[in-house]
């Protein structure tokens, strides 16, 4: 059965795995999910990620979650901003005014998926995918 919002499913799987204190989570892969996982890894929210090919199910994205020394997840909150029924866009100036030191907004731009910080530096706006803190 096809998903209406595969990015929301990706974020929910991570959120649920952290609530269950799992070390790894896997899901169907896509290029956007892979890029979001790469950003999460670069920003230090997850330990690692990789792709594996399966003959019957296609590619699978494996994400290894990261916890602090007390066993609490490093991702306190992960929220979907733009949804299929309500797309949310922001210009570079709007992204700069919304920037927060403790959170990262992932933005889909004409130059690919990147953080709000990278989009502000490149002076481009785009669709706000999600916010991680």
Rounded percentage of the chain residues whose pLDDT exceeds 90: 89
pLDDT on residue 56: 75
Residue 49 within a domain: yes
The pTM (predicted TM-score) of the whole model is 0.93
Return d(Cα 23, Cα 41) in angstroms, integer: 15
Over residues 38-95, the pLDDT tens digits come to 999 999 999 999 999 877 778 999 999 999 999 999 999 999 999 999 999 999 999 9
| Residues sharing a CB contact under 8 Å with residue 118, sequence separation 6 or more, in sequence order | none
Residue 89 within a domain: yes
Whether the predicted pLDDT of 2 surpasses 70:
no
| Residues sharing a CB contact under 8 Å with residue 38, sequence separation 6 or more, in sequence order | 49
Residue 29 within a domain: yes
Residue 61 within a domain: yes
Instruction: Report DSSP letters for the chain, one per residue.
Output: ---S-HHHHHHHHHHHHHHTT-SEEEEE--HHHHHHHHHHHHTTSEEEEEEEEETTTEEEEEEEE-B-TTS-BS-S-EEE-SBTTB--EE-HHHHHHH--SS-EEEEEETTEEEEHHHHHHHT--EEEEEEE-
CATH number for the domain spanning 68: value is 3.30.1490.10
**Residue range of the domain that includes 10:** 6-132
The structural domain count of the chain equals: 1
Residue 1 within a domain: no
């Amino acid at each position: 059965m096809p998903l209406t919002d595969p990015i929301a499913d990706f974020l929910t799987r991570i959120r649920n795995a952290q609530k269950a204190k799992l070390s790894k989570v896997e899901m169907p892969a896509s290029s956007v999910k892979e890029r979001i996982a790469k950003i999460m890894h670069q920003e230090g929210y997850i330990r690692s990620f990789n792709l594996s090919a399966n003959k019957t199910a296609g590619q699978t994205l494996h994400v290894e979650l990261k916890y602090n020394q007390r066993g609490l997840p490093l991702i306190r909150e992960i929220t979907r901003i733009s949804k299929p029924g309500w797309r949310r866009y922001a210009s570079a100036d709007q992204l700069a005014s919304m920037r927060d030191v403790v959170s990262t907004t992932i933005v889909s731009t004409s130059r690919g998926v990147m953080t709000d910080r990278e989009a502000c530096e490149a002076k481009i706006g785009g669709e706000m995918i999600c916010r991680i803190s």
